[in-house]
Amino acid sequence: MILVMKPTATEENIQSVIQNVKQCGLDAHLSRGQDITIIGVVGNKHIFLEQNPELMEGVEKIVHVSESYKLANIQFHPAPSVIDVDGVKIGGDNFVIMAGPCAIENEALMMEMADVVKQSGAQILRGGAYKPRTSPYSFQGLEEEGLHYLAEAKKRTGLCTISEVTSIAAIQAAKGVIDIIQIGARNMQNFELLKAAGKSGIPVLLKRGMSATIDEWLNAAEYIMAEGNENVILCERGIRTYETSTRNTLDLSAVCVLKSKTHLPVIVDPSHATGVRNFVGPLAKAAVACGADGLMIEVHPNPSKALSDGPQSLDPPAFFALCEELKPYIALAGRKFIHV
């Protein structure tokens, strides 16, 4: 941590800040410049920060030079994490595809989709049981009943399953029923939910908040990991920008940034990011090419009848074609795409 002093800071101000730093058991290193003096602070800053050094006489600003997340930090865990979800490996040199309908609408549809996903070679079946919707008057999901359809689909096909949870009650309902719980963009900083997900021990796919910085996202992962659950998978799903021609702006650079900051696996969701079916394929390939560990793709047997997010869903033939097209890209990227 660096304290930048004001040009008007007096010698007395400087000495008083240094005194303060030392009283907290830290080292202070002074660099006097012509215009600006800076004080480097070294050691465990926790106690010092509680004194609000920004407000000490003569201090202009504080510059943090190290990250606040530890368990998610690549500096303390250089090898990529490989998360084992009932035999499916996520991370390392593996490549996974998670696919299925945005919302679980009924049992028949879920079984039909499970067969489609199984046939495509994808390893994980997705389906939304609890749907966070902007308007209270939109379809809100089948909830617990939906989770059980996923469990049946797993029995039928052997596919691992993932579904979003939006409450602590939903995490409890998911336990032992599905394989991965997803925390959605709107709940990325719902810290009570993050802690409960951490305590549950279930693998968690953590989507990036609509306007979350990468550091905030990794701190959200840290909330889960600090509860003892290290099985965290990150999922880039687009960020909010001024551009309106896509629903959000898919930030593929984030894949590169994450690979330089964390050991956790990174999945990309081009369906939610763009909201446009025709853009899913090209951006899925781009995600593979820039180093993602997997994809989440929406598929629906009849997108024009989907209760949620139809316009971004692929129909089964388009999804089969995309999986085939992705294979050489996955191979080029040095990844293994192993069917279950």
* Residue list 104-163, contact with a second copy (CB under 8 A): 132-137, 139
**Judged by CB under 8 A, which of 177, 249, 301, 318 binds a second copy?**
249
Find the part of the chain contacting a second copy (CB under 8 A) among 11-19, 24-32, 114-122, 154-162. 24-32
Placement of tokens 């495509």 in the chain: 120
The smaller minimum CB distance to a second copy, of residues 86 and 215, is found at 215
**Cβ 173 to a second copy, closest distance in Å?**
13
211-to-188, 207, 238 alpha-carbon distances in Å: 10, 11, 9
Task: Report the alpha-carbon distance of residue 178 to residue 161 in Å, rounded.
Answer: 5
Find the part of the chain contacting a second copy (CB under 8 A) among 89-97, 121-129, 152-160, 206-214. 206-214
**Judged by CB under 8 A, which of 13, 16, 22, 38 binds a second copy?**
38
The smaller minimum CB distance to a second copy, of residues 155 and 243, is found at 243
Residues 6+ apart with CB under 8 A from 160: 85, 86, 87, 88, 123, 124, 125, 154, 179, 180, 340
- Count the site residues for a second copy by CB under 8 A: 102
30 neighbors 14 (Cβ within 8 angstroms)? yes
Task: Report the alpha-carbon distance of residue 15 to residue 40 in Å, rounded.
Answer: 13
From residue 207 to residue 226, the character string flagging contacts with a second copy as x (rule: CB under 8 A) and all else as - is --xxx-xxxx--x--xx--x
Find the part of the chain contacting a second copy (CB under 8 A) among 34-42, 95-103, 114-122, 142-150. 34-42
**Cβ 292 to a second copy, closest distance in Å?**
9
**Considering only residues 267-296, where is the footprint of a second copy by CB under 8 A?**
273-274, 276, 278-279, 282-283, 285-291
Helix axes 191-200, 214-225, angle to 10 degrees: 40
Q: Report the first-to-last Cα separation within the chain, whole angstroms.
A: 48
281-to-257, 274, 326 alpha-carbon distances in Å: 23, 11, 9
Task: Report the alpha-carbon distance of residue 207 to residue 269 in Å, rounded.
Answer: 9
Instruction: Return the structure tokens found at 18.
Output: 């240094």
**Considering only residues 168-197, where is the footprint of a second copy by CB under 8 A?**
168, 186-187, 189-193, 195
The smaller minimum CB distance to a second copy, of residues 158 and 275, is found at 275
Find the part of the chain contacting a second copy (CB under 8 A) among 45-53, 88-96, 108-116, 149-157. 45-53
**Cβ 20 to a second copy, closest distance in Å?**
10
**Cβ 278 to a second copy, closest distance in Å?**
7
Bridge partners of residue 41, in order along the sequence: 28
Instruction: Return the structure tokens found at 177.
Output: 């029923």
Secondary structure (3-state) at 275: coil
Task: Report the alpha-carbon distance of residue 279 to residue 282 in Å, rounded.
Answer: 6
**Cβ 197 to a second copy, closest distance in Å?**
12
Find the part of the chain contacting a second copy (CB under 8 A) among 92-100, 107-115, 154-162, 249-257. 249-257
Instruction: Return the structure tokens found at 149.
Output: 């359809």
The smaller minimum CB distance to a second copy, of residues 201 and 328, is found at 328
**Considering only residues 59-88, where is the footprint of a second copy by CB under 8 A?**
61, 63, 65-66, 68-69, 75
Residue 332's CB is within 10 A of a number of other CB atoms, namely: 10
**Considering only residues 315-334, where is the footprint of a second copy by CB under 8 A?**
328-329, 332
**Judged by CB under 8 A, which of 93, 201, 305, 339 binds a second copy?**
305
Placement of tokens 């969701």 in the chain: 269
Find the part of the chain contacting a second copy (CB under 8 A) among 87-95, 113-121, 172-180, 253-261. 253-261
Task: Report the alpha-carbon distance of residue 191 to residue 328 in Å, rounded.
Answer: 40
